Structure 1
Amino acid sequence: MSRWPDVEAWLAGLDAHLPLVPDLSPEGARMALDLARMALREVPEHLDRPAPAHTVFVASSTVFTVALEWCAVLLARGGRVTLKVPRGLEPWYAAITRDTGLPLEATTDRRVLATADRVVLMGSDATVEAVRAALPDPSRLLAFGSRHSLAWWTDPTHAVDLALDRVLYDGRGCMAPTGIFSPIPDAAERLAEALERARAVVPLGTVHPSE
């Protein structure tokens, strides 16, 4: 029997922990969480396949919602999930895995990697190679390393959508375009206006000197 009703209840309760998300503005954190949950609307139609008994998910530090879709699907399919959490997001992951009634836990201990039937990793290429080398069986690893997005923009009416893609997670996510190409004659002016409107909805959070 699917655990989807319990997973839905877990997802619905995550709002209470948004103050623990670092760096993003409250509006930015809420929009990111809402969009992550929207992406899960069709999940109940795809729960017939069993999950690995125990999956360790190695989360990236740039996108605090990165594990939610994987956790939701794996838990609903009957699996157990351990989140290997990144530095800086320990309070968020500790809160969202506490007293859930689901086989979901968070840890900072790298030794948990050796206990997994499957390891899913989101992170830098260096992290991918380090984890691959640490696993007794590298074939258990499903890894997503460094990614960058480019946008080809041809429809002027999509300016706001493109701007929101850029400002979500304050541009730290791999889906935020690092370059935008367009044949639209006044593309720069249109995009500048759209970015200004997007920032009115999603204010910029904390930017570190290294960024």
Structure 2
Amino acid sequence: MIPSPEQVHVAVRRYAESDPTGWGTGLSPEGAWLALGAACLEVLQGELDPRALLPPHPTRRRMPPKTLVIWCAANVFTAPLEWVAQFLVLGSRVVLKAPTGAEAPLRALVEAFEGLPVELVEAPHQQAWGLLAQADAVLAFGSDRAMTELAGRIPPTTARSLHGHRASVAVVQGHDAALAEALALDAALHDGAGCMSPAAVFCLGDAGALAENLADAMAHMQRRVPRGAVHPSIGPAWRRRTGLARILGDCLEGDGWAVPLLPDYRAEPATLPRMLPVHPIETLDDLEVLRGWPLSTCATDLDALRSIASLGFCRICAPGTMQRPPLGRPHDGVDVINALCRQISLERS
């Protein structure tokens, strides 16, 4: 029997009540609770009516996969939740392939969804390729290299939606405290991991004032939701960016956070945990520095959506919602549900 939206909501609430502090996410206890709560809330507030997810069409039938394999990444532990919820109400059996060393969040998810067709496979990649032959569709997240390898293992006729590295930024004109607090939240969720976390803020207004307010907001966020443990390998990149900012602009830095103020040509498409660079720009034409970036999300307070979208962004949202995408949206510009359904043309007279 296909689970109802109400049954899925009950399972999501159970997941939201699970204690994530022992899951080894790399986040602080406060950070883990914040990330879990944000992800569950988006699902609970979203639309899970199957007729809304797959609206009826007079001459076309879209058949959800009987078995969907979700190949999970380790950087954003909540990422599979929205897809599990949506495909369950469409009637799919969902098999989660856990990332090695990051199985605990998925164990908790499967436990919360007990009684519903959600399964977990814990095995190294090399021992899990057989899953792909059993799948009607594959949804995967990870590095570009991992997605390339995975694509070569999926049978040619199997539907797939594979998502590698993407970069996200904010483009703003304001500099007030409320905007800074929203951007600090975007940077704090998952400690900057994930393709929707801001790698940079481009400011058309008073970039210095924004940097100062952002520093205050980042410091406040660090006190409320401390940054998790940082791997020693992050140190050299952190010191390089902050040192460069002190030479070329300015750097506001505290315990567990940094706001480098740098020229736009020094923007980089990679995030560091709780570092949010600010880049002054004079016009939107200066955003040409983003050409060639694998773009995901842009948070903005501007109305120039067409100009921003033309750069290649897949999603445009308000500051403060970058890492809280709504249910049912395209992901990386892909209508994932349609991409993973079998399309049947009904042409009977």
Q: What is the aligned counterpart of 2:42 among 39, 43, 53?
A: 39
User: Residue 227 of structure 2: which of 185, 204, 210 is its match?
Assistant: 204
Distance 2:218 2:104 in 1: 31
**Larger displacement relative to structure 2 (71-80 or 10-19):** 10-19
2:193 aligned partner, one-letter code:
R
- If each structure's helix is expressed as a fraction of its own residues, which one has the higher value? 1
Q: Secondary structure at the match of 2:48?
A: helix
Distance in 2 separating the partners of 1:207 and 1:47: 44
Distance 2:100 2:19 in 1: 17
**Cα distance between partner residues in 2 of 1:47 and 1:196:** 45
Deviations 1:17-72 (A, max 9, x none): 41333211111111111111222212234555353111001111100000000000
Unaligned 5+ runs, structure 1: none
TM-score, with length taken from structure 2: 0.57
What is the distance in 2 between the residues matched to 1:19 and 1:162?
25
Give 1:2-151 correspondences, 5 Å limit. Answer: 2-14=3-15, 15-22=17-24, 23-40=26-43, 41-48=45-52, 49=54, 51-98=64-111, 100-107=114-121, 108=123, 109-137=128-156, 140-151=159-170
Classify the secondary structure of the residue corresponding to 1:100: coil
CA distance in 2, matches of 1:171, 1:58: 21
Residue 241 of structure 2 aligns with which residue? none
Identity %: 34
What whole-Å deviation, never above 9, does each CA across 1:113-147 have from its counterpart, x for those lacking one?
22111100111111111110011126521011101
- Indicate whether 1:159 and 2:163 are aligned: no
Which region of structure 1 is more displaced relative to structure 2, 104-113 or 134-143?
134-143
The more displaced of 158-167 and 8-17 is 8-17
Q: Tell me the number of residue pairs that the alignment of Structure 1 and Structure 2 aligns.
A: 211
CA distance in 1, matches of 2:102, 2:162: 20
Counterpart residue type for residue 27 of structure 1: E
CA RMSD of aligned residues (A): 1.8
